[in-house]
């Protein structure tokens, strides 16, 4: 038994590939917990950042700078009365948030946080991710229909039309990145990752293809990779129903769209699913175009010195966060009322600093690097989501459809064809 557990540590694959059930379960637990914590952090960050965009303070009451606000929210949502409308379809109403939640979390089975840090590496990785994430629209439509009310139904129909339209553009952008995995710039049968010049759909394989070709797919065939990435970056915002494409829950027209009738824990499941899906599609974008877990500038800034410098980044990030926390401690009002909060913030800063120091230890440093760079890139996308929401006004529905079908789709097809031609010619 013990041997079964330790034997995985010496192998060099993901737990799913090694067929080790114990470690697969451990990874699933870690990913599930990590995503839940990330969703809570994202919730706080979004409210805080949006507030600062709009020159407000945002949550300030619960904990220093509202740091404990997500926990307070979670407790509130869990203890709130759970209402099911009298005329609602009970079973469908009950199962809809679960479908969204399962679909959003199932995506993480194949997300590669590092060369061996994924739950498993499926041969159909990216196909699996797209398929499972498209299941969540079912949950949205079910929720809207089962509520037996007008606003949710309209929201659900809007959502389905929007997701079906943008999935097409998204798929084309993804395919043009997958085509790149098979090309080495050596003609049609260049050295691919798989056999006989074919590319790969596996998430780990895609990142390794970028390493072998010494280029992030973002910069491959210069404007082409960039355009494909742009199409994906637009489509993924529409796929997750976020501003400026948040028509299914446009509060000025539909109160809250498909989840108007939901309350309490069920509503929080929708939120959890939405944020988990946001992180998931961001990690698709990072994997396909931004080199996954590889550090920036692997070609120009090479050598042991640069390796060392880049490996210090995780620790430095945490130290910077700790420094921000200590600045916050200094700026706290010197009033007895704020004493507990000041001590709490100082403690939080100390914990962050300690984590930063631990991350400087060489064995930890080497192991954490891949995960750090992956998460850092994804975090950049998460900030973009907040930024979009604060910046762009909401689209009208016909404009949304026009962008999807008349702009993104033709450009996507053009990029795909050009990528294939360039790959064969060059």
Partner 1 sequence: MEQAIQPGMQPVATTFFFYLLSGLTLLSGVFVITRKNPVHSALALIFGLLAQAGLYLMLYAPFVAGVQIILYAGGIMVLFLFVIMLVNLERSQREERFNKQWVVGLVAAVALGVLFVVVYVKGKALFPYRIAQPLENSNTQQIGVMLYGQYMFAFEIASLLLLVAIIGAVVMAKKRI
Q: Which long-range contacts (CB under 8 A, 24 or more apart) does 377-383 make?
A: 377/286, 377/290, 378/279, 378/282, 378/283, 378/286, 381/282, 381/285, 381/286, 382/42, 382/45, 382/278, 382/279, 382/282, 383/45, 383/49
Q: For residue 72, report the phi and psi dihedrals to the nearest 5 degrees.
A: -60, -45
Query: What is the rounded CA–CA span in Å between residue 232 and residue 105?
Result: 20
Nearer to partner 1, 198 or 399 (CB): 198
Q: How many residues bind partner 1 (CB under 8 A)?
A: 39
**Contact between residue 295 and residue 310 where contact means Cβ atoms under 8 Å apart:** yes
Q: Which of 85, 190, 194, 264 binds partner 1 (CB under 8 A)?
A: 194
Asked if residue 13 binds partner 1 (CB under 8 A), the reply is: yes
Close Cβ partners of 69 (under 8 Å, ≥ 6 residues apart): 43, 44, 47, 59, 61, 62, 63
Asked if residue 180 binds partner 1 (CB under 8 A), the reply is: no
Residue count (the chain):
426
Which residue stretches of 107-149 are H helix?
Answer: 125-146
Window contacting partner 1 (CB under 8 A); options: 86-94, 272-280, 281-289, 313-321: 86-94
Q: Which of 164, 343, 351, 364 binds partner 1 (CB under 8 A)?
A: 164
We find the least distance from the C-beta atom of residue 58 to partner 1, in angstroms, to be 37
We find the least distance from the C-beta atom of residue 127 to partner 1, in angstroms, to be 4
We find the least distance from the C-beta atom of residue 95 to partner 1, in angstroms, to be 8
Window contacting partner 1 (CB under 8 A); options: 8-16, 258-266, 307-315, 376-384: 8-16
Window contacting partner 1 (CB under 8 A); options: 17-25, 311-319, 336-344, 384-392: 17-25
Asked if residue 17 binds partner 1 (CB under 8 A), the reply is: yes
The site map against partner 1 for 123-152 (x = CB under 8 A) is: xx--xx-xxx-xx-xx--xx--x-------
We find the least distance from the C-beta atom of residue 47 to partner 1, in angstroms, to be 32
**Contact between residue 244 and residue 151 where contact means Cβ atoms under 8 Å apart:** no
Nearer to partner 1, 135 or 323 (CB): 135
Window contacting partner 1 (CB under 8 A); options: 26-34, 120-128, 239-247, 340-348: 120-128
Nearer to partner 1, 198 or 391 (CB): 198
Nearer to partner 1, 12 or 305 (CB): 12
Q: Which of 6, 54, 79, 196 binds partner 1 (CB under 8 A)?
A: 196
Give residues 305-364 in contact with partner 1 (rule: CB under 8 A): none
We find the least distance from the C-beta atom of residue 235 to partner 1, in angstroms, to be 15
We find the least distance from the C-beta atom of residue 146 to partner 1, in angstroms, to be 8
Window contacting partner 1 (CB under 8 A); options: 84-92, 218-226, 237-245, 392-400: 84-92
Asked if residue 89 binds partner 1 (CB under 8 A), the reply is: yes
Question: How distant, in Å, are the alpha carbons of 173, 309, 378, 395 from that of 278?
Answer: 18, 31, 10, 19
Close Cβ partners of 295 (under 8 Å, ≥ 6 residues apart): 310, 313, 369, 373
Report which DSSP code applies to 112: -
Burial 109-130 (b: 16+ CB within 10 A, else e): bbbbbbbbbbbbbbeebbbbbb
Window contacting partner 1 (CB under 8 A); options: 64-72, 190-198, 218-226, 350-358: 190-198
CA dihedral 52, 53, 56, 58 (to 10 degrees): -50
Nearer to partner 1, 45 or 157 (CB): 157
Window contacting partner 1 (CB under 8 A); options: 159-167, 239-247, 285-293, 340-348: 159-167
Residues at the interface with partner 1 (CB under 8 A): 11, 13, 16-19, 21, 89, 91-92, 95, 120, 122-124, 127-128, 130-132, 134-135, 137-138, 141-142, 145, 153, 157, 160, 164, 167, 194-196, 198-201
């Amino acid at each position: 038994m013990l041997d079964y557990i330790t034997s995985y540590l010496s192998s060099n694959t993901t737990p799913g590939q090694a067929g080790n059930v114990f470690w697969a379960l451990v990874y699933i637990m870690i990913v599930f917990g990590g995503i839940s914590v990330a969703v809570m952090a994202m919730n706080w960050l979004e409210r805080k950042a949006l507030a600062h965009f709009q020159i407000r303070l945002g949550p300030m009451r619960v904990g220093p700078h509202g740091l404990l606000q997500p926990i307070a929210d979670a407790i509130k949502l869990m203890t709130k009365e759970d209402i099911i409308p009298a005329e609602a379809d009970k079973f469908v109403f009950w199962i809809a948030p679960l479908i969204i939640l399962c679909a959003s979390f199932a995506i993480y089975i194949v997300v590669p946080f590092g060369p061996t840090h994924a739950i498993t590496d499926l041969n159909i990785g990216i196909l699996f991710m797209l398929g499972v994430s498209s299941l969540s629209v079912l949950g949205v439509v079910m929720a809207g229909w089962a509520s037996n009310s007008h606003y949710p139904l309209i929201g659900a129909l809007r959502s389905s039309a929007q997701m079906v339209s943008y999935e097409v553009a998204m798929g084309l952008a993804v395919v043009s990145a997958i085509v790149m995995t098979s090309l080495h710039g050596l003609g049609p049968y260049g050295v691919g990752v798989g056999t006989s010049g074919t590319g790969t759909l596996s998430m780990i394989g895609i990142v390794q293809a970028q390493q072998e070709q010494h280029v992030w797919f973002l910069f491959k065939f210069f404007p082409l990779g960039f355009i494909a990435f742009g199409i994906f970056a637009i489509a993924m915002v529409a796929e997750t129903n976020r501003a400026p494409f948040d028509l299914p829950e446009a509060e000025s027209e539909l109160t809250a769209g498909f989840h108007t009738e939901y309350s309490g824990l069920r509503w929080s499941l929708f939120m959890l699913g939405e944020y988990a899906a946001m992180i998931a599609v961001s990690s698709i974008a990072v994997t396909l175009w931004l080199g996954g877990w590889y550090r920036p500038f692997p070609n120009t800034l090479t050598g042991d010195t640069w390796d060392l410098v880049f490996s210090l980044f995780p620790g430095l990030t945490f130290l910077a966060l700790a420094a921000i926390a200590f600045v916050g401690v200094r700026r706290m009002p010197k009033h007895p009322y704020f004493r507990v909060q000041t001590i709490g913030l100082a403690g939080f800063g100390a914990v962050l600093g300690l984590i930063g120091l631990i991350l400087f230890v060489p064995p930890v440093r080497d192991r954490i690097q891949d995960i750090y760079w992956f998460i850092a890139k994804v975090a950049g996308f998460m900030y973009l989501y907040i930024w979009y929401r604060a910046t762009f006004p909401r689209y009208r529905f016909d404009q949304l459809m026009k962008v999807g079908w008349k702009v993104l789709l033709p450009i996507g097809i053009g990029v795909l064809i050009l990528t294939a031609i360039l790959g064969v010619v060059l």
